[in-house]
Chains A and B, each alone.
Chain A
Amino acid sequence: MTHLENELQAVKKEVLSMWYLVESQLEKSRTAMLHFDRDLAREVVLKEKRVNAFELKIDRDCENVFALFCPVAVDLRFLLATLKINNNLERIGDIAEGIAKYIIESSGDFDRTLFESTQVLRMYEDAINILIDTRMAFEKEDTILARSIFKRDEVLDQINREASARVGAVIKEDMTVMEDALYMLSIIRKLERVGDQSKNIAEEIIFYIEAKVLKHQEDKGKE
């Protein structure tokens, strides 16, 4: 292995560590919501600093490789993609933190029936699975798996589109759950962003491996 390959491997390892942390943050925010566990939510907020530290470290490592090795071709694409993936992962970290803050701020336990009626749990499950599969696509350089993310993001978009009506109906039926229902709506909005960020990451994985730019192409080349 060349010195450059070692450096790139080290960057990839770092990105994967960040990815595991972000997945765990999202998973913990889900558990905190499900069991209304404020301590766990506080842990998520605290650990967000680690996600930010990862982002800064990866940026710096990429900058060093650019400056010292002048990478080209696939190596250049890997680093360009990594910078953007890094940024998207950090935002997913922010989303997990944002949800954890709702749990800390909320006045009492969430009404558990809302988890089903608003489809927030299903959305959580899908968002976490999408993030895991995007990580696997990156790890294994699997563009077929990366492409599958685009379709799966549409499911999240669909739930999000229907969320206002669904939450509205729940509130109409029982005004006492209004505060909780609005929290659910906010969580759904945030989870929809996880799908978008994962889709952005999938585009970067395809760019890095196949040198194809899929950004801003609605369906072209994504099949």
Chain B
Amino acid sequence: MESTIVRSIDYNAYFGDNHVVKNVNIDIPKNNVIAVMGPSGCGKTTFLRGINRMHELIPGATAKGKIMLDNEDVMEMHPIFVRLKIGMVFQRPNPFPNLSIYDNVIAGYKLNGIKLPKAEKDKIVEQSLTKVALWNEVKDQLNKKGTFLSGGQQQRLCIARAVAMEPEVLLFDEPTSALDPISTSTVEELFHDLKQNYTLIIVTHNMQQAARVSDKTAFFYMGELVEYDETKRMFTNPRDTRTQNYITGRFS
């Protein structure tokens, strides 16, 4: 049986009085890829950002309920520690523009004041870039700025930066929406490899991507988790009419 790594219990999120995530209960199994989909404004990104406590960084934003990571409530943990355990990759590739490829990968350590011997850093850089299938492409130009890379390579560099911290969970907020189809395909292939070591939660507007890459899919609508099931089931025979209407494009 798969063990649960992230569990949300009666999770609610607000922007001021606006109740944007309503009582979400969900169990996310370890080493799975979970796709989160739903129309704009349904609360999916807010929920994602709640998992590693990014939500509360926004002024006026509050949350209630629990997000459990390995049976520990992240709301009780130090936010920095939470973000070391739960990495995040955003819509647009955002490597640090003034840092080299090498320094981008180990930026998490530098920013957290963790000092490592050179040999250890070299090892982390090589391992992280290898995990995101970027090592062979950049191993001879590690001192070049990260922003010299193509969009797809930059996104993989950002994933390498998250992976370098050895998190347990990786959150992706529409990670390929700014990429061309070839880069998108490379990143999607990467998801299959990454799930051997990590649990991936991906917010996506691209339903075919959700179908291609995920083991389970969650459908959000108006802040509620409407349906959460095996992806194969969701895309062949969803239980809820709202899910069916959304995935077949009949949403009004």
Contacts and interface: CB of A to CB of B under 8 A. Distances in A.
Interface residues of B, number: 12
Contacts of B248: 4, 71-75
Given A4-B248, A5-B250, A75-B248, A70 B208 contact: yes
B250 A76 contact: no
Contact of B244 (A2, A4, A73): A73
Nearest to B247: A72
Interface in B51-109: none
B237 interface: yes
A4 B207 CA distance: 15
B211 interface: yes
A2 B247 CA distance: 13
Contacts of A4: 248-249
Contacts of B211: 72
A73 B208 contact: no
A211 interface: yes
Interface in A142-167: none
Interface string A1-42: 010110000000000000000000000000000000000000
Interface in A68-102: 70-77
B250 A72 contact: no
Contacts of B238: 73
Most buried by B among A2, A70, A74, A76: A74
Contacts of B235: 72-73, 76
A68 to B, nearest CB: 12
B237 A211 contact: yes
B237 A73 contact: yes
A191 B236 CA distance: 35
A111 to B, nearest CB: 53
A211 B233 CA distance: 11
Contacts of B237: 73, 77, 211
Contacts of A71: 248
Secondary structure class of chain A's binding surface, majority of residues: helix
Interface string B228-252: 0000000111100000100111100
Interface residues of A, number: 12
B221 to A, nearest CB: 16
A207 to B, nearest CB: 10
Contact of A74 (B207, B208, B244): B244
B216 to A, nearest CB: 16
Nearest to A75: B248
Most buried by B among A4, A73, A76, A211: A73
A143 to B, nearest CB: 15
Nearest to B208: A70
A2 B250 CA distance: 7
A73 B208 CA distance: 12
Interface in B196-238: 207-208, 211, 235-238
A173 B14 CA distance: 90
Nearest to B244: A73
B249 A76 contact: no
Interface string A208-223: 0001000000000000
Contact of B236 (A2, A5, A70, A73): A73
A72 B244 CA distance: 9
A83 B238 CA distance: 22
Contacts of B250: 2, 5
Nearest to A70: B208
Interface of B: 207-208, 211, 235-238, 244, 247-250
9 contacts: A2-B249, A70-B207, A72-B248, A73-B238, A73-B248, A74-B244, A76-B236, A77-B236, A211-B236
Given A2-B249, A2-B250, A5-B250, 12 more contacts: A4-B248, A4-B249, A70-B208, A71-B248, A72-B236, A72-B248, A73-B235, A73-B236, A73-B244, A74-B244, A74-B248, A77-B237
